[in-house]
Every structure is written in structure tokens, then in C-alpha cells.
């Protein structure tokens, strides 16, 4: 338990977390460009959540600094919980038999001052259909795998914070 309680003070732990998110982004680009799987709008939103997880790399600068550590916790928590929610909605779109129950937007709903899909279309443009299941592994679609991944990130965050609070009485 002491090992887990001390993980947030480790550069290697924050580096591992951030690099795992970078690896997920590389995988997304591989699926898009090597396997020709067009990302839908929900895929793009999940990609944004994973990008939020890469922000935890800022904490590598000085994990003993409370402000940086809180920034790491916040970006980790918001990104993993939001990503899980988006993946859950995406699964609902794929599994619902009523064609009028859900609608998939064509253009990402980014803020008008930050149209990422126009600035970086190779990364943020949505060209696929949300309801289409074009890839699966062990019977699970890509959103189902992303839901598992985001749930793992979320559980890990909650577990580490709870253990740290119990053991050290601080974040």
C-alpha cells in the first residue's frame, strides 16, 4: 500500500500514465491511416479525452509540487470520466436498433474560437458513421474497448487517491 500511496510522487508513474495515452493516440492514427477505419464524431471526442490524459505529462516536471500534481489529477480525472461517458454513448448508438433514437453529428462540436477539425483535419475530422461497427476484437467493438480502458484509468485514479489519502493524509 505504501508503494501505491507514493506513486503520485514518482516521475516514472506520471510518465507511464502520459505515455500510455500517447500510445493510444498512435494506435488511433494507425487504425485511421493504416487500416483505413474512418473515425466518427464520437471517436474524435474519445480521441480528445485521450489527449487530455496526455496533459498529465506536465506533472513529470515536478511531481512533488502540489499544484502540478493537482493539475495531473484533474486532467486524469476529467479525461478518464468524460472518455468513459462518451464511449458509453457510442456503444448505445451502435447497439440500439431504433435508427431514430440517436443521431451522430457530422461536424465536431468544438468551440468556435478553437475549430480543431479545421486546423488539424487529419487528426480531428470525423468521416465515419457512429453506428457502424467496422472493427472488433474478442467480440468487443472499439468503443467497448475504449470504455474498458477509460474505466481502468478512472478506477486507477480513484484507487490511488483513496490509498494516498488513507496512508499519507494528503494528495
What is the per-residue pLDDT across 86-124, written as a single tens digit (0 to 9) for each?
999 999 988 887 766 667 777 788 888 888 888 999 999
Query: Does residue 168 belong to any structural domain of this protein?
Result: no
Domain of residue 19, residue span: 2-97+104-159
Query: Does residue 37 belong to any structural domain of this protein?
Result: yes
Query: Does residue 74 belong to any structural domain of this protein?
Result: yes
Query: Does residue 128 belong to any structural domain of this protein?
Result: yes
Residue 16 Cα to chain centre, angstroms = 15
Q: Catalytic residue, from 47, 48, 69, 164: name it.
A: 47
Query: Does residue 59 belong to any structural domain of this protein?
Result: yes
48 catalytic residue (yes or no): no
47 catalytic residue (yes or no): yes
Q: Catalytic residue, from 40, 48, 69, 164: name it.
A: 40
Three-state SS sequence of 130-142 = CCCCCCEECCEEH
Q: How does pLDDT run across 66-86, given as a tens digit for each residue?
A: 999 999 999 999 999 999 999
Q: Catalytic residue, from 27, 48, 69, 130: name it.
A: 130
Query: Does residue 171 belong to any structural domain of this protein?
Result: no
Q: Catalytic residue, from 11, 43, 48, 155: name it.
A: 43
The Cα-based distances of 62 to 69, 95, 98 in angstroms read 8, 44, 50
Query: Does residue 164 belong to any structural domain of this protein?
Result: no
- Helical pair 66-95 and 41-54, crossing angle rounded to 10 deg: 160
How many domains does the structure of the chain reveal?
Answer: 1
Enter the pTM of the model.
Answer: 0.91
Query: Does residue 169 belong to any structural domain of this protein?
Result: no
40 catalytic residue (yes or no): yes
Work out the average pLDDT over 58-64. Answer: 96
Residue 106 Cα to chain centre, angstroms = 21
What CATH number has the domain bearing residue 50?
1.20.1550.10
Amino acid at each position: 500500500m505504501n508503494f501505491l500511496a507514493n506513486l503520485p510522487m514518482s516521475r516514472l508513474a506520471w510518465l507511464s500514465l502520459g505515455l500510455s495515452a500517447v500510445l493510444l493516440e498512435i494506435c488511433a492514427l494507425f487504425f485511421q491511416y493504416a487500416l483505413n477505419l474512418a473515425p466518427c464524431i464520437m471517436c474524435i471526442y474519445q480521441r480528445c479525452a485521450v489527449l487530455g490524459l496526455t496533459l498529465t505529462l506536465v506533472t513529470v516536471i515536478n511531481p512533488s509540487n502540489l499544484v502540478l500534481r493537482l493539475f495531473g489529477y484533474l486532467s486524469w480525472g476529467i479525461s478518464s470520466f468524460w472518455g468513459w461517458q462518451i464511449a458509453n454513448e457510442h456503444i448505445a448508438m451502435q447497439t440500439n436498433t431504433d435508427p431514430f433514437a440517436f443521431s451522430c453529428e457530422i461536424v465536431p462540436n468544438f468551440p468556435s474560437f478553437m475549430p480543431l477539425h479545421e486546423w488539424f483535419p487529419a487528426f480531428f475530422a470525423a468521416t465515419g458513421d457512429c453506428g457502424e461497427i467496422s472493427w472488433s476484437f474478442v467480440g468487443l467493438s472499439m468503443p467497448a474497448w475504449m470504455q474498458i480502458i477509460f474505466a481502468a484509468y478512472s478506477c486507477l485514479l480513484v484507487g490511488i487517491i483513496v490509498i494516498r489519502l488513507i496512508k499519507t493524509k494528503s494528495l
